[in-house]
Homo-oligomer: A and B are copies of this chain.
Amino acid sequence: MNLAETRRVLAEAVAATDPRLQELLDYALEGGKGLRPTLVFLCARFGIYDALEAGRVAAAIELVHLASLVHDDILDGAAVRRNRPALYRAYGTVPAVLTGDYLFATAFGLLAKGKKAVLYTVTEAIRSMCSGEIGQLKGGLAGPEAYFTYIGQKTAALISAACRCGAILGRVKRNQQECLAQFGWHLGLAYQIVDDCLDLFGSPERMGKPCRQDLARGLLTLPVLRFLAVTPDAACWRERLARGLEAAEMEELVEAARGLGCDTYTAAVAADEVTRALTALDRLPVNPVQDELALLAARTLAPLEDPDCPAAYPGMTAAG
């Protein structure tokens, strides 16, 4: 199968001679839902593609994703990822920086064997991801506009790149590549909005990591920005957020936000993005893959509706 092939390429690509390095790499590779590789394969199916090449590109994009997670966890000070300590907590910051670098280099090694347009697409996505993280470092998130710029750069760029790369591999026409990239962009936005919504309103069991992490590090995501826009106590909450919330205050904010319908609002914005993704799909010539992509997009919203359905698409591992 496609994703099994990706897993195999991935494991082979990161094989290291040093056992210490291998331990770090294995740790970084574990888990992963395989959204981006799935998108590469699905979008490639709009045309005729080489499965081996697609497996390499899918693996490379997943590596870029995993590398960025390893580095982001350092940046965010995140303690837990996928129900385990974040790599830098388990092994230290220094090995984590290096593991991320090694994964990035491995990804480029895989891409070096393929099409330049693919390599260029992924490179631009990484630059975008870095810009997003750096832009957010000092600025916080002032309002919805900054929020959308941030999640676009941080999340949607690579998901869109995965779709575009698939399309390039399938040799589909330029304007259709654009449609699939657009689809990925809006899917990525929806995906991140859902994630941010779950981080605020969800439970740690559901997420496989502690909740309210964005709030704890002063990152104002969409539901919080909505809350500040509709609560009569906005000035007071802004002050409290600026100095950092206690755990009890966080629960208070979450309850108040729920009372004002900020969860429903956020879910509606995510649904809007899914609609935009589907609109982009509709501009493509009819193809059976469209239904699969549409299903995948719709499933992005599932975790908001059904608490027992955290996996939004076929998982690459049993862990989802």
Which one of A46-54, A119-127, A284-292 contacts B? A119-127
A20 touches which of B97, B112, B135 (Cβ 8 Å): B135
Residues of B near A131 (CB, < 8 A) are 16-18, 21, 102
* Chain B residue nearest to A110 in the complex (CB): B123
Sort chain A's interface into a size bin. 35 or more
Of A71, A112, A116, A139, which is in contact with the most chain B CB atoms at under 10 Å from its CB? A112
A108: interface (CB < 8 Å)? yes
A214: interface (CB < 8 Å)? no
Given A21-B135, A71-B97, A97-B74, also A127-B102 (CB < 8 A): yes
One complex includes copies of this chain to the number of 2
Residues of B near A80 (CB, < 8 A) are none
| Bound CA span A74–B101, Å | 13
Instruction: Contact check, B112 vs A127: say whether CB atoms are below 8 A apart.
Output: no
Could you show 28 A-B contacts with beta carbons less than 8 Å apart?
Answer: A16-B131, A18-B131, A18-B135, A20-B138, A20-B139, A21-B130, A24-B134, A71-B98, A75-B98, A93-B93, A95-B134, A97-B97, A100-B101, A102-B130, A102-B131, A104-B104, A104-B105, A105-B123, A105-B127, A106-B127, A108-B119, A108-B126, A109-B120, A109-B123, A109-B124, A112-B116, A112-B119, A113-B120
Instruction: Contact check, B134 vs A99: say whether CB atoms are below 8 A apart.
Output: yes
Instruction: Contact check, A126 vs B138: say whether CB atoms are below 8 A apart.
Output: no
Of A99, A106, A108, which is in contact with the most chain B CB atoms at under 10 Å from its CB? A108
**Chain B min CB distance to A128 (Å):** 9
| Bound CA span A196–B314, Å | 52
